[in-house]
Every structure is written in structure tokens, then in C-alpha cells.
Amino acid sequence: MKMIDIQNQKDTRNIDIEKVGVKNIKYPLIVLDRARGTQPVNASINMYVNLPRHFKGTHMSRFVEVLNEFQGQISIKTFRSILEKIRHKLHAQSAHMEIEFPYFIEKTAPVSEAKSLMEYRCLFAGENSAEKTDFLVGVTVPVTTVCPCSREISKHGAHNQRGMVNVKVRFNKFFWIEDLIKIVEESASGEVYSLLKRTDEKYVTEKAYENPKFVEDIVRGVAVKLNEDENFVWYSIEAENFESIHNHSAYAYLEKG
């Protein structure tokens, strides 16, 4: 039996669609890991193509077929090939993909040297057409922040809290996410760990107190370091502090023009 291909029918409304596809597919992937070679991750994926005005619909199952094909090989290095494959398989002019995943790095506590795994959230996002390829990498890093104002005006103590710093970069050549995370962690009042013994807790408390930072300081601090590396041709940096004295966040955002 021949089935009608509704998606391939003509559309007469004369309206192009920028992006059409599948959103929020949960998928296990293998990504590169500097310390261990590779790391299995549980990703959430969006895949889109453009749809020219004369077509009624897109063949959505083809996105998942491309995903199946590349499952073990998705990385900064293969992203462009995947986008091109999507574009060709769906007969589109442009293809888009966004992949978010948790990524674990083993950290060493500063004094006890106890090892533990910390989760960071990563993003690969890109677009490909005959004219151009765009690709960006993002990472969200939990940090400790001590308020400089609170510290300065108070007899003792200073309010501090967990913050989340999100950095996205465009770049010319391969780099390790681990290095980007390090830049962020060095720009905050202190790093966050999964496992701290009491000697470590003393160390991180004192270090953070001696190193107070507003959200404004964090985004500027990261920017200064990214400016020093010409590999990063564009970036956006946002810092959000889950204020311990308020029920809302302090927030700062900047991007390289």
C-alpha cells in the first residue's frame, strides 16, 4: 500500500519557517573527557531545520535516525558533520542542533585531598547552512560568592550563597571544557565541591571571605580572562546569585560585542 505523504504536500500560505523539528529528546551519548578519554552522558537534544514556504511539513523521524547514526561520536569535532547530515537528509537549507548534558569532573578537596565528582551542565549548540557554520559551547558552573558590601559594613561575617555562572563561547580551535570551568571557578569567591572534610571547610570558608565578589565582579573577572585568549572570538557571561538574605537572585550579564 502506498501511503500519502502529507508532509510533502504544497503549502500556499507563502510563509517560511525558521526552525521545525524535535525538541527535548532524551538520549545517552558519549562525549570526550580530558581525564578519562570519554564519558557517557544523558543528554537532552533539540534538532531543527528550516522549512521553505512551499512545503507543508517536515519528516520528523529523520532527526532521530541521524542521532542514532552519530550516537557514539558527538563532540566539538563532529558537530558540523552532524549538522550537514541533518541538512542533507531533510533536504533543508539550514540545520540547528542544541545538546545539553551533565558532565562530571573529579575534584580534589583543597586540604584533605579527598576526591569527589562534581556535576557541571554543558551545552553544544550550532547551525549550518551552505553559507556558514556557527557553533558555540556553553557551561554552567556552580560557585560560592561572598558579598563585598555585606563584608565591608558588618562587624563580622558576610552573607554568601551558591551562584551559577553560565558562559557561552564561540572559538576557532578545539579547547577543553575543563579549562573554561577553571576560568569561572577562579573568578568567583570560591569553588564548590561534593566532598569537603572539616579542614577543607575551614579553608574554603576563609578563602571565600578573603575574596568577596559581586555578580558584577564575576562576569568581569571571567571576561578579563577570556579576553586574554584569542581563541575565544565571542562570549556571553551570566552570573546569578541565589542570595542568602533575599528570596530572589542578583544577576549580571555581559557579552563580547
Report in angstroms how near the CB of residue 234 gets to its own copies at its nearest. Answer: 14
Q: Are 94 and 21 in contact (CB under 8 A)?
A: no
Beta-strand runs (E) in 53-114: 94-108
Residues 152-174 as b/e (b if ≥16 CB within 10 A, e otherwise) read: eeeeeebbbbebbbbbbbbbeee
Find the binding residues for its own copies in span 108-127 (CB under 8 A). Answer: 114-119
CB of 209 to its own copies, least distance (A): 3
How many residues sit in the footprint of its own copies (CB under 8 A)? 104
Q: Does 69 bind its own copies (CB under 8 A)?
A: no
173 belongs to the binding site for its own copies (CB under 8 A): no
| Cα–Cα distances in angstroms (integers) from residue 32 to residues 139, 146, 177, in the given order | 15, 34, 10
Question: Which stretch in 80-88, 124-132, 154-162, 166-174 sits in contact with its own copies by CB under 8 A?
Answer: 154-162
Site stretch for its own copies (CB under 8 A), options 72-80, 85-93, 129-137, 153-161? 153-161
Among 111, 148, 175, 178, binds its own copies (CB under 8 A): 148
Spatial distance between the Cα atoms of 66 and 63, rounded to a whole number of angstroms: 5
Interaction between residue 255 and its own copies (CB under 8 A): yes
The yes or no reply on residue 102 touching its own copies (CB under 8 A) is yes
By beta-carbon proximity to its own copies, the closer residue of 6 and 130 is: 6
- H/E run at residue 83: helix 79-89
Rounded to whole angstroms, the maximal C-alpha distance in the chain is 82
Decide if residue 251 touches its own copies (CB under 8 A): yes
Residues 10-49 vs its own copies: string with x where CB under 8 A?
A: -x-x-xxxxxxxxxxxxxx----------xxxx---x-x-
CA pair distance 40, 126, nearest whole angstrom = 21
Question: Does residue 205 touch its own copies according to CB under 8 A?
Answer: yes
Q: Judged by CB under 8 A, does residue 82 bind its own copies?
A: no
Near its own copies by CB under 8 A: residue from 125, 150, 166, 229: 150
User: Nearer Cβ to its own copies, position 138 or 190?
Assistant: 190
Pick from 166, 216, 229, 234 the residue near its own copies by CB under 8 A.
216
Sequence-distant contacts of 197-204: CB under 8 A, at least 24 apart: 197/109, 197/111, 197/112, 197/114, 199/111, 199/112, 200/109, 200/110, 200/111, 200/112, 200/114, 202/111, 203/110, 203/111, 204/110, 204/144
